[in-house]
A = this chain, B = another copy of it.
Amino acid sequence: MNDLEIIGLDYSYGREVKALDGVGFSVPSGSVVGLLGPNGSGKSTLIKNVFDLLESQAGTIAVGGSPHTTPEAKREAVYLSSNDYLPEFLTAAEYVAMMAGFYGLEVDREDAADLFSRFAMDGRYDDLIENFSHGMRKKTQLIVALLVRRRLTVIDETLNGVDLEALHLAEKELAGLRDEGRSVLLCTHDFPVLERIADEIVFLDHGRVVFNAPTAGLVDEYGSLERMVYGYLEAGER
């Protein structure tokens, strides 16, 4: 089964800019898919379509088998955006409760506090988010995703710049989601992370899917994801 299935997605801003041009790919249950692309490749437009923040213009998107605009679909996916979209006026605990409420869940306080502690934010669970550094805000976003454990987790550059140990732990936790049969769409240009945990890679450019293949095969072919990407960008085949 596919937790996310996108077919023939088009999107244009105004008349001329074709931001997405027939994009299609899948995120199978129990997998991590890496999403890569330069500035302006369409990644953000794609994610906004998936979360119905932009009204899709052509093509279909299904989350957990349901059309992406339905309540069923919306309950099955969680989105980690940049670290700054957090309600500063809430404590971490209040934010966790708000997000749990959104998904109709109860979150065990001890589980949550334990994750805060493992991500080196011991004792900060009842602090106001306005007193959190950028790194702590990123980790808070990730922890919420790990607590609500949706079928599909979409991570949009959220982990860039977190500390070495948090990144290492994050990787294990994302692998844990996958091992439970959940899936992750991971947007990052941290190539080694992708090489370690992404089963497949989707590489976008100019609104089209340029590569969509198992990570291992791409690494075999190009030597590394990085060589693949920079080779492509410099080849001027664009």
Contact = CB atoms under 8 A, between A and B. Distances in A.
Interface string A154-188: 00110011011101100000000000000000000
Contacts of A130: 82, 133-134
A163 B41 CA distance: 11
B86 A38 contact: no
A39 B97 CA distance: 24
A189 interface: yes
A57 interface: no
Copy number of this protein in the oligomer?
4
Contacts of A131: 131-133, 136
A210 interface: no
Contact of A165 (B39, B133, B134): B39
A128 B52 CA distance: 17
Interface in A189-227: 189-192, 224, 226
A117 interface: no
Contacts of A89: 44, 48, 81-82, 85, 156
B98 A53 contact: yes
A88 interface: yes
Given A48-B94, A192-B191, A85 B86 contact: yes
17 contacts: A37-B164, A38-B163, A39-B165, A44-B89, A48-B90, A53-B90, A53-B97, A53-B98, A55-B97, A81-B88, A81-B89, A82-B88, A84-B88, A84-B134, A85-B89, A89-B156, A131-B131
Interface of A: 36-39, 44, 48, 52-55, 81-82, 84-90, 94, 97-98, 101, 120, 128, 130-134, 136, 156-157, 160-161, 163-165, 167-168, 189-192, 224, 226, 229-230, 233
Sort A-B residue pairs by CB-CB distance and give the 7 closest, nearest first.
A160-B161, A130-B133, A39-B163, A161-B161, A85-B87, A164-B189, A38-B164
